[in-house]
Structures are given as C-alpha cells and as structure tokens.
A and B are shown apart, each in its own frame.
Chain A
Amino acid sequence: MPKLYYILFLLIASFHLQAQPDLNKERLAEFKILTEQRVNDLQEYITQIGNKSLPIEQRQIAIDLAVDLFEKDYEVNGKRRSPYIQVSRRNGMVEAIPVRAYFNNLLGVKFDKVEITYYDAAAVSDFEKGTDGNYHATATYFQQFKGFDNSGKMIYGSRDRKDIRVTGKSMAVYKNLGKEDLKIFFGDVTVRETIPIKGY
C-alpha cells in the first residue's frame, strides 16, 4: 500500500510541474494589455494627487493607491528599500528619490493649479524572463505638466517621458485551478524632461 501512495505522489508532482510552464507569447501579450491598464490607473492617481481642488484626504488616498501599484518594499542588509523615481531635467539636474517621497512632493507643489495631460496608451516592451523567475518589461508614456499661479498665469511647464520598469511576479493567482499566473507590479521609474514649455 505505501508503494501505491508513493507512485500516486510522483504522479501528482509531475502534473503540478506540467501545470507551471513558461508563459507563452499569447499570455504575455495579455499581460501587456494589463500593464497598459495599470499605467492608466497610475495616471488617474497622479491626476488626483496633483488636483488642488480636491480635499487633501482624497489626494493622500490617491498616494496610497499609487504606491500600491509598485513593488512592496523589500529588505536587504536589514534596510527596507522602495523603488526609485529618477527625475532628469534638461538643465542637468538629476535626482533619485523613493516612490512615496516623489508623490508627496507632487502633493506639496506650490502652484495654485496643476494641469496634467497624457497622450494615448503607454508603449509596453516585450516581457523578458529574469533569473528570478519573474518576467520584466518597460512601459513608456509621455506627460505634459503645467503649473499656474492664482491669476491663472503659467509659472512652470514641461513635457516629460516616463519609463517604468514592470515586473510580472509569478503568483498562484488561480491556485484553485492549479494554474500559475503573473501579478503586475511597477518598479523603478525614470522621468526625463523632453522639452521645457515656453510661457513662464
């Protein structure tokens, strides 16, 4: 009888191994679409955070929701680190700060009114497999930012390109079906000014 259980155990193990294959191209294409939707979510949150006409509580909730889209802090050498956002301006200024600090800065901008414009859908690169078993891609989108004073005069404006490192983490989302799938998280972001907007 124990031999029978041993054989059955091996059978189950082999089925589970087959049920967790590398993701095929069609499935990765689906995750490209999901990434585009996640970028839309992020853009919604950024618009909320920058909208000074909204109550501060609502804008702070938007920060929490935006931060939730990013990889959770991980511990290395006893330190907790979150993804970085590196902002590069055409005047040579380069600054790398943690994600939450970046959104808090946006919450505290000195302008009386902020206007953010996006352009169509994000361009998402093909997903590549990493040695950690996760799949990695890059999502890119363009954003126009304008800041106005209380008289409606534009005092700052720029058009930026944002590149977001996207990680598809292997997770047993459909565990009840014995199916491995991916969960999308954002990682490090580069924000690069493509052009300062005239008029300020």
Chain B
Amino acid sequence: MRLLLIVLWAIGSSLVGLGQSVSEIAPSVVADTLNTKEFSQKLVRNESKPYMMWQVKHVSEFIARFNHEALPGGKKFTDSSRMEYPRDMYLRRLFNEDDVRFKRTRLGLSSLYSQQVDEFINTVTTHDIKISSQSPIEAVSKLRVIHHHLTDTLVVKLRKYYTADSASYWQIVQVKRPQVLRDSQSAACDGLEKQQDLPPNSHEVNFLPLLRGLSDYRSFCPFMNSDSRLNKDWQCTEAALRNGTLHIESVVSTTIYIPIGTEWQLELNEFLYEKENSGWLISNLIQLAHK
C-alpha cells in the first residue's frame, strides 16, 4: 500500500511539471544570475552606434533579413516598417557595396555582375523566394598551419546537416591539403572513432570547436563524413596531423555558401567595418548553371 502511495505521488509530481507555464518558471531562471549591485565597478556603457545595429552579426540574422522577416536588432517587421524598407532595397543592402563590380564604367554602364544582381533581386522579390531554416548551407574555412617551420593554409569544406528531430550539426565534407605537404602518405579511419558533431553555430566563431577538436584528436576522422575519407588530399593531411608534423594554429577566415532555389548560390563573407553595410554580406552571387 505504501508503495502504491509513493507511485501515485510520483504521478502527481509529473503533472505539476506539465502544468507549469513559462511565465511562472522564467523569473526564477532570470534571477539566477549575478547580483550586479554588489559587484558593479564603474562599468561604462554607451548607446550603440548605428553600424552596430545594422551590421549583420549572425548568419541566422542574414537569413531573417533576406526573408524580409526582421529589422536590424532582431525586431519583427510591422506594416509601416515594411513600407519604409521595401524588400528590394533591403536585399540590396545585403550585398557588399564596396565590390568593385558595382562601380559604373566611364561610359556610365553597369557591369555584367551588377545586372545579374538586379535580375536576382527582381526574381526574389517577384516570386517571394525565401531561404529555408533547414537550407543545406556549406562553409569553407581556411586554417593557418605550420609544417616543419613553414606556414601554409589548409582549406576545409563543411556542410550543415539536419536530423529528423530538428537538430543540426556541421561535418567536414572535403579537405584540401596545404602545398607544404609534399609527401603522399596514406591514412585511414579505423571506423571506431566516436563521431563528434560540431555545434550548429560553430561557423559564428570561426569553427573554433573544430580547431580544438583537431588539437584533441589529432585526426579529422571524428569530424568527417565517411564518404569523404577516400580523398588523397585528406589522406596526406591526416597522416601529417597524426604523426605530429602538421600543427593547426588558428582559423583565418570562413566563407558561407547558401543555395537559393536551384539556380543561384550566395557566397557570404564577413566584412568587419564600422559602417552600416558590414558583417555577413554577399561577396558573390553565383549562377549555378554557369558555375
């Protein structure tokens, strides 16, 4: 009987948890932080400069702006702000305005690229094309490496994958060996490595989780798609990493590729300037048929 009562109490506890609303839980969660009054020491905080608001700080923010869903700072569009920032104008602000291809020729003609961008903006606006939240995004990361005192660049291509339960992760799909690696050694994954999925936002911190992971495991195997392991470039780089002759120092840059329908691909790079047209911007518009 006592056991039966314990069991019934346990069911009751579960039901209390189910009935708890967000607003009931949230204040205590939010209070679980530093009591700043006790610790405060002349923290100086200024109002944000306009470029800090307008700078496209995250790829998810880029997607929200491309889809005409969010204002700078993450606020949702209202009917009046939609009128103030029509989609075509908003899209144009996502291109790197310093791209020399946007400059008109002496005769006042626009470049082929500029015409392509006009056509793209017109197509996206007319057909209300949006980037899906589960778009197959790819990234190319350049890592600074040292091999026998020589510095070089290792290029790694990654792809973002999505699981059925709406989780996502990054995985390496290609490794391009640095030129300093002349020996053609071979290597293979033994298949026993525990797969290490890179967090879905690794690209926002220059794939530092990958940098740490490569340092920990001294192998690409845990971070690699199994289909990509036959590649000769990977085998050579993997062998040098394992025998300790190749040291990965830092991540120099990351470029993102987002497909738009079946015809276009956007190349994004980060432009860190103190002006409104900065952050993750379109550095190239690639027409896939001509790629």
Which A residues fall within an 8 A CB radius of B?
5, 8-9, 11-12, 15-16, 18-19, 22, 24, 26-27, 30-31, 33-34, 37-38, 40-41, 43-44, 47-48, 51, 54, 65, 76-77, 79, 81, 83-84, 86, 94-96, 115-120, 123, 125-126, 128-134, 136-138, 140, 142, 159, 161, 163-165, 167, 173-174, 176-179, 181, 187-190, 192-195
Q: Which chain A residues lie closer than 8 Å to B22 at the CB level? A: 24, 26-27, 30
Q: Which chain B residues lie closer than 8 Å to A31 at the CB level? A: 29
Question: Which one, B39-47, B82-90, B260-268, is touching chain A?
Answer: B39-47
Mask, B31-69, CB within 8 Å of A = 1, is 011101001111111111100100001101100000000
Q: How many residues of B contact A (CB 8 A)?
A: 69
The answer to whether A181 and B3 have CB atoms under 8 Å apart is: no
B214 shortest CB reach to chain A, Å: 11
Mask, B1-38, CB within 8 Å of A = 1, is 00110010011011111101010011001101110100
Interface check B169, CB cutoff 8 A: yes
Question: Given that A47-B42, A94-B144 are contacting pairs, would A129 and B166 also be in contact in the complex, using a CB cutoff of 8 Å?
Answer: yes
The answer to whether B250 and A178 have CB atoms under 8 Å apart is: no
Interface check B288, CB cutoff 8 A: no
Q: Which residues of chain B in 164-191 are interfacial with respect to chain A, using CB atoms and an 8 Å cutoff?
A: 165-169
B49 shortest CB reach to chain A, Å: 7
Set A24, A137, A178: member contacting B14, Cβ < 8 A = A178
Which B residues fall within an 8 A CB radius of A?
3-4, 7, 10-11, 13-18, 20, 22, 25-26, 29-30, 32-34, 36, 39-49, 52, 57-58, 60-61, 73-74, 144, 163, 165-169, 197, 199-202, 204-206, 208-209, 211-213, 215-217, 249-252, 272-274
The answer to whether A128 and B201 have CB atoms under 8 Å apart is: yes
A49 shortest CB reach to chain B, Å: 10
The answer to whether B44 and A130 have CB atoms under 8 Å apart is: no
The answer to whether A131 and B197 have CB atoms under 8 Å apart is: yes
